[in-house]
A and B are shown apart, each in its own frame.
Chain A
Amino acid sequence: MKNPSALIIEDDPNQAIIFAEALRMAEFEIEIVHDGQDALTRLAVITPAVVILDLHLPRISGQTILQQIRADERLTGTRVMLTTADAHRAESLRGEADLVLLKPISFYQLRDLAKRLRPPDIVG
């Protein structure tokens, strides 16, 4: 039984750690990138079940990455959770992402949500 993978795209290191812990608790394999560019590079290769995407990334905006994910056929099964401090942005993007989380995000909240987003176990 392989754990599903999650990709965390977050530039704030603290947030990244918290997200990682939450997802680990939800039994995901974690991968973290701090940079939009790296994210794209990774996304070209891997197929995470869940992506935690911070909208406020430097250089490349979270929106762009979101669009990339959505455009990528390989990643149609990938669930995307957006994180943002901007309530308004959050509202406006509600339709595009599977979930929008408003910072500060409760760790518990994230863990529970992640559990729910787990793809069904692949019985080996």
Chain B
Amino acid sequence: MEQVPTPHSGSQRFGSSSLTAIVELLMNYIKGTLPEGRSLPDDIWQSRHWGIRTLLWLHAVGIVCFGIIMGANLEHSLAEGAVLAVMAVTASWPNTPRKFRASMASLGLITASAEIVHLSGGYIEMHFHFFVMLAVIVLYQDWLPFLLALGYVIIHHGVIGVLDPGSVYNHPDAFAHPWKWATIHGVFVLAASIAGIVSWRLNEVLRARNELILNSTGEGIIGLNLQNKVIFMNPAAAKMIGYGVDELKDQPLQSILQPGKMDGAPISENEDQIQTLIQEGTDQPIVEGEFWRKDGASFLAEYISTPIREGGVVVGAVVAFKDITERKQAQAALQKAKDELEIRVAERTAELNEMNERLRFELTERRRAEERTRLIINTALDAVITMDAAGLITDWNTQAEAIFGWSYQEIIGRCLSDTIIPDQYREAHQRGLKHFLAMGEGPMLNKRVETMALHRDGREFPIELSISPLRLGENIIFSAFVRDITRRKQDEAALRQSEQRFRQVVSSISDHIYVTEVTENGHHINLYLSPHIEPLTGYPFDKFLADWSFWPSIVIHPDDRAAAAAQAARLARGQNSEMEYRLIRANGDIIWVRDSGRVEKDAARRSLIVYGLVTDITERKQAEAALALARDQALEANRLKTELLAKVSHELRTPLGAILGFAELLEVNTYGPLSEKQRQVTTKIINSTHYLTTLVNELLDQAQLEAGRLKLNVHSFAPANLVDDTLTKLSVLARTKGLSLTSDIATDVPATLFGDAARLQQILVNLVSNAIKFTQRGGVRVKLYCPDADYWALRVSDTGPGIPAEAQTYIFEPFRQVDGSITRAHAGTGLGLSIVKQLTTLMGGEITLESKVGQGSTFTVYLPLQPIQEKIS
């Protein structure tokens, strides 16, 4: 590896301390710094060579002038100049190697120096020209011209300087000591050479470094000049584009390397870019373009162009590019792989998502199912207990907590037989469990069993349970449904007791009780028959038990069978039914029974249940018959009586009518004028007839009332009118006796009432006329009012003698008068008040009497505002 020496800094210069040491140092340096003689790049060499040649030509011309100035004659000067010119021409000889031309040039330059020295007559200062020339020759960076020049100088100084010092040195000292002067000059020439060599070397090194960079870099680097021609190309570039490193020298960039568009369309754009770059001297960003190879293939490259500046002026451009085909491919592949991967990932993710969803769904479902199960188990009315093969409780629902008194937390994991199985059964349980685990069967399993269980608080209680074994993978668990049947047991006992009692009760009833089931298709089934059927019918009990139809087909009286069948049909339809029919007992006796049946639908079995009672009603029937007979007779009697009444009514009234009528006619002189006596007698006849008519009416009323044949004619009427009419009728009677007769109608009495107005008038007339009859002085007052919300009242009060208390008890009885005798002192049948009372009662009212002897009497009739309809008996 090449050592890159540190460049000499400007401070380390020659001309200090001892030459030997310096030389030593320099020798060491030289060893490391000897140039390796690499050639200059062509363009640089060319430009340098041109410069040097020009210099030589200048010298060629200048030397002539110099010679003339120095006093040499023209020919001499021209000759000197000619020599240089020849050298210059030789240096430009075409198709000669560079070394040759360079050598010529350098010799020419040194010749120029020598001529200057000569012409100047060995002017010492002119010897500096040699140094300048050497420095210039170093520019060739080539051994041959340099050594030739050096050799020339040495030879010149050594040979000519010694032989003819006058032409070389113009110093007298030099004549005397020519070797001293040659040595000094020689040393300085050497020093100058060394300096030159070193700088050459440094140049080389620097160049080498650059070259190294250029050569070692993987990037292709192309140098372009202002004309866009390739001035250099590094190996990488050459490799990439398939040309030799120097092949494209001086070729235009676009003709060979054609960075173009991706689609192959050649554009000058990028080139323009480079042009722009060159023209404007700006950096260009990294661009992608297509580069063409020598073999016609193209590749994608990434390149960046940078201007080359020399002294602030753009002299070219450097294009650094990279074959990014691979990169692109890799990228593409990567992208593809990435895409694929993404797709795969997406697919996979989707798959996973789906799976996840499914799992989640399943999980939810399972959880829900679990919840549901749990809910069911917890709401089950039975306790649900799960036990594992070791006999430990693994599950315990809410009902179990309630039944056994252990909470879930307390009992989970505990041994089942220790906790809820009573002592006496524990061993059996263990044995059973072992047996099942060994044999795979168990007598207690999968069926309902009743046994005792142990509550937490120590008491035993009956349970019904059902145990099922379940295989879950490898494990066996036992699931038990447990029901506390304490209540049921109690109920059963109660039922038995109740049934017992029922039987006892039924036995004690002398009636026959039966319970029959009537099925959907009409079959009758005896559910229960009381033992009384035997004494009732005289047939043995079993006969009925065995055959339901025995009763309807044999026992029932033939004439009643149809009717009984009808009743059975009614019952079958669900109608409760009662019937009375005859039975023929075993001994031939005929008895009457009443069969009352009540039907209930037994929904569970879709049939009817008939609950029946059969009572022996023979006696009653007989009584009924007798009663019916008596009733008929009574009815007949009544009918006759009514007919009689009707007839009598008519028969009595007709002659009365005649008597009254004619008597009245007589009175009005229809048959001639009457004498006073005749008139008086006629009046008596009339009065008697009136009286008789009243009697007849009262008798007839009484008879009717007794027979219950009196009907009320209920209509609406005005109570005020009732009162007024009555008073009108009787006012004369009252006036005759000098009594006042007044009425008082309360304002709260309705204007119309419902009732039998005629009968009401009868009542009122009766009361008022009685009052007038029995009162001697004062008057009679009639009051009509409403004592309360439901009743209205007629009150007749008089200022008569009053009625003694004892008389008040019987005064309303028929044919009774005050003094207990039927007298005619106070004309009347004694029926009046009786009729009044009966009528009042008939109307749903009430009559009261308030009286004190000497203080008058007050009769009050209370009647309902809503009259009740009379019942016909």
Contact = CB atoms under 8 A, between A and B. Distances in A.
Q: Which of A14, A17, A87, A91 has the most CB of B within 10 A?
A: A87
B662 A18 contact: yes
B658 A88 contact: no
Interface stretch (A44-52, A59-67, A102-110): A102-110
Contacts of A56: 650
B649 A107 contact: no
B661 A25 contact: no
Interface string B298-341: 00000000000000000000000000000000000000000000
Contacts of B659: 104
Contact of A91 (B658, B662, B665, B713): B713
Given A91-B713, A104-B689, A18 B661 contact: yes
Q: Which of A21, A87, A104 has the most CB of B within 10 A?
A: A104
Nearest to A56: B650
Interface in A63-87: 85-87
B649 A86 contact: yes
A15 interface: yes
A86 B700 CA distance: 10
B653 interface: yes
Interface residues of A, number: 21
B665 A18 contact: yes
B657 A21 contact: no
B18 interface: no
A15 B653 CA distance: 11
B401 interface: no
A104 B661 contact: yes
A36 to B, nearest CB: 17
Given A21-B670, A25-B668, A85 B653 contact: yes
A96 interface: no
Contacts of B670: 21
B758 A14 contact: no
A85 B665 contact: no
B843 to A, nearest CB: 14
A14 B649 contact: no
Given A21-B670, A104-B661, A88 B653 contact: no
A18 B655 CA distance: 12
Contact of A15 (B654, B664, B756): B654
Interface in B681-733: 689, 693, 697, 700, 710-711, 713
A12 B664 contact: no
B660 interface: yes
Given A18-B665, A91-B758, A103 B711 contact: no
Nearest to A15: B657
Interface in B616-661: 646, 649-650, 652-654, 656-661
Contact of A85 (B649, B662, B756): B649
Interface string A3-30: 0000000001011011001000100000
Contacts of A106: 660-661, 664
Given A21-B665, A91-B758, A107-B664, A14 B657 contact: yes
Contact of A86 (B646, B662, B664, B710): B646
Nearest to B696: A104
Q: Which of B664, B689, B711 has the most CB of A within 10 A?
A: B664
Given A21-B670, A25-B668, A104-B653, A88 B661 contact: no
Contacts of B661: 14-15, 17-18, 104-107
B683 to A, nearest CB: 12
Contact of B656 (A17, A21, A87, A104): A104
Contacts of B652: 85
Contacts of B710: 88
Contact of A108 (B654, B662, B664, B689): B664
A86 B713 CA distance: 14
Nearest to A86: B649
B757 to A, nearest CB: 9
Interface string A91-122: 11010000000011111100000000000000
B51 to A, nearest CB: 169
A2 B441 CA distance: 130
Interface string B758-792: 10000000000000000000000000000000000
A104 B694 CA distance: 10
Nearest to B648: A85
A105 to B, nearest CB: 6
A74 B697 CA distance: 38
Interface string B737-760: 000000000000000000010100
A103 B713 contact: no
Contacts of B653: 85, 103-104
Nearest to B701: A87
Contact of B657 (A18, A91, A94, A108): A18
Nearest to B690: A106
Contacts of B756: 91
B657 A104 contact: yes
A94 to B, nearest CB: 8
A14 B650 CA distance: 15
A25 B661 CA distance: 13
B599 to A, nearest CB: 47
B698 to A, nearest CB: 12
Nearest to A95: B715
A103 B697 CA distance: 10
Contacts of A17: 661-662
Contacts of A88: 710-711, 713
A14 B657 CA distance: 8
A15 B658 contact: yes
B693 A104 contact: yes
Contacts of B662: 14, 17-18
Contacts of A12: 654, 657-658
A25 B670 CA distance: 9
Contacts of A14: 657-658, 661-662
B650 A18 contact: no
A77 B530 CA distance: 79
A21 B662 CA distance: 10
A85 B713 contact: no
B4 to A, nearest CB: 159
B689 to A, nearest CB: 7
Contact of A103 (B657, B668, B758): B657
Interface of A: 12, 14-15, 17-18, 21, 25, 56, 85-88, 91-92, 94, 103-108
10 contacts: A14-B657, A14-B662, A15-B657, A18-B662, A18-B664, A86-B649, A87-B697, A92-B713, A105-B657, A107-B660
Given A14-B658, A15-B654, A85-B652, 10 more contacts: A14-B657, A14-B662, A15-B661, A17-B661, A21-B670, A86-B646, A86-B649, A87-B700, A104-B657, A104-B693
Interface of B: 646, 649-650, 652-654, 656-662, 664-665, 668, 670, 689, 693, 697, 700, 710-711, 713, 756, 758
Q: Which 4 A-B pairs have the closest CB atoms?
A: A18-B661, A104-B657, A107-B664, A14-B658
